[in-house]
């Protein structure tokens, strides 16, 4: 976590001289004139607690809801030290609802202690300077939220804090702001990205690549006329096998590569394989020692063919 920027609260119980007041006020202004929040109270110094990044749990990734933190440096002058000056401050939201109260959605911790009423006390305890560690913890939320509010004085025995007169109570000293940014759990985000990438790859495969790498047969029918009769639709087939071996195509191969048709019979002592050709033709791969009439390596629609192998004649037609 990066170092915290330090804000300063300068506590005055009594001014020893106009010159001392001028010197102290001038030096303090150099420390607190930055980081003002624009708006109705733009003249108030601003305390920017920064952003807490929240995400819910998912699978094995736990939820994250880190607090935002700030340090305030308090400085007491000699008279405030001598007279035991003290002050009570309270955190409110922009509607002046107390931070830490039920329904505020924010818990305040001061020096590691949970402040149930949004209050914190200032006293010198024998030290001219001290540091307050402030921590805001937000409840879980479905949407990102901005928090704006005030640090006010409710009571005390000091005459001035910073350059603000502490006459009466309900004195606004600072305007604070913080943000809770709700994001996707990194594991869920990675899963969504992986799923999106997978869907894109599937789209590219099925629309552009599959038919280029695994072409399909066109519309038609392949008919065995002898030694027995059987007809097959060719459309959409990647391969047609005449085989004597039991064959079965896996589901994934069928989906990602295309359909193969297997015609099993003891007639086919060796495989005859049909694959797509150009211009609605079908390529035929015959076993060694076979012949085909009329001689060709590609079947043309509307033609009949006779394949001879070891005295067995097989009459086919491609229509």
Tell me how far apart the alpha carbons of residues 100 and 77 are, in angstroms, rounded to a whole number: 31
Rg from Cα positions in the chain: 42
pTM score above 0.85: no
101's tokens? 């109260």
The span from the CA of 98 to the CA of 116, in Å, is 10
65: closest CA among 179, 189, 180, 184? 180
pLDDT at residue 105, as a whole number? 85
pLDDT in tens, the chain (319 residues): 333 334 455 544 433 333 233 223 322 322 333 333 334 444 567 889 999 999 999 988 899 999 999 988 877 777 777 777 777 888 988 888 898 887 788 999 998 889 888 888 877 666 677 788 899 999 998 899 999 999 888 877 777 676 666 655 677 888 899 999 999 999 999 999 999 999 999 999 999 999 899 999 999 999 999 999 999 999 999 999 999 988 889 999 999 999 999 999 988 889 999 999 988 899 999 999 999 999 999 999 999 999 998 888 999 999 9
Are residues 285 and 275 in contact, defined by beta-carbon separation less than 8 angstroms? Answer: yes
Q: Tokens standing for 234? A: 């060719």
Work out whether strand 86-93 and strand 145-156 pair parallel, antiparallel, or are unpaired: antiparallel
Cβ of 26: how many Cβ atoms within 10 Å? 10
Secondary structure of the chain in the HEC alphabet?
CCCCCEEEEEEECCCCCHHHHHHHHHHHHHHHCCCCCCCCCCCCCEEEEEEEEEECCECCECCECCCEEEEEEEEECHHHHHCCCEEEEEEEECCCCECCCCCCCEEEEECCEEECCCEEEEECCCCCEEEEEEEEEECCCCCCEEEEEEEEEEEECCCEECCEECCCCCEEEEEEEEEEEECCCHHHHHHHHHHHHHHHHHHHHHHHHHHHHCCCCCCCEEEEEECCCEEEECCCEEEEEEECCCCCCCHHHHHHHCEEEEEECCCCCCCEEEEECCCCCEEEECCCCCEEECCCCEECCCEEEEEEECCEEEEEEEC
């Amino acid at each position: 976590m990066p170092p915290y920027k330090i804000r300063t609260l300068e506590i005055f119980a009594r001014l020893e001289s106009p010159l001392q007041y001028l010197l102290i006020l001038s030096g303090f202004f150099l420390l607190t004139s930055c980081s003002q929040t624009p708006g109705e109270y733009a003249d108030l110094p601003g305390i920017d607690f920064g952003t807490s990044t929240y995400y819910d749990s998912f699978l094995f990734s736990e939820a994250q809801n880190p607090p935002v933190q700030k340090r305030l440096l308090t400085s007491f002058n000699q008279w405030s030290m001598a007279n035991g000056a003290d002050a009570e401050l309270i955190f409110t939201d922009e509607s002046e609802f107390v931070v830490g109260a039920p329904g505020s959605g924010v818990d305040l911790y001061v020096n590691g202690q949970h402040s149930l009423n949004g209050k914190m006390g200032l006293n010198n305890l024998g030290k001219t300077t001290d540091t307050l560690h402030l921590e805001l913890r937000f409840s879980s939320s479905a949407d990102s939220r901005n928090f704006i509010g005030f640090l006010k004085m409710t009571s005390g025995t000091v005459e001035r804090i910073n350059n603000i007169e502490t006459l009466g109570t309900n004195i606004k000293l600072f305007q604070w702001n913080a943000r809770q940014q709700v994001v996707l759990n990194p594991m869920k985000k990675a899963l969504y990205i992986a799923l999106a990438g997978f869907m894109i790859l599937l789209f590219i495969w099925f629309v552009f690549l599959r038919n280029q790498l695994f072409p399909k047969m066109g519309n038609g029918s392949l008919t065995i006329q002898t030694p027995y009769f059987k007809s097959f639709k060719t459309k959409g087939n990647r391969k047609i096998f005449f085989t004597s071996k039991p064959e079965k195509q896996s589901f994934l191969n069928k989906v990602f590569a295309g359909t193969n048709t297997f015609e099993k019979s003891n007639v086919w002592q060796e495989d005859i394989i049909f694959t797509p050709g150009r211009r609605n033709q079908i390529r035929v791969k015959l076993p060694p020692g076979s012949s085909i009439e009329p001689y060709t390596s590609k079947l043309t629609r509307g033609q009949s063919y006779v394949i001879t192998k070891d005295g067995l004649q097989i009459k086919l037609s491609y229509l």
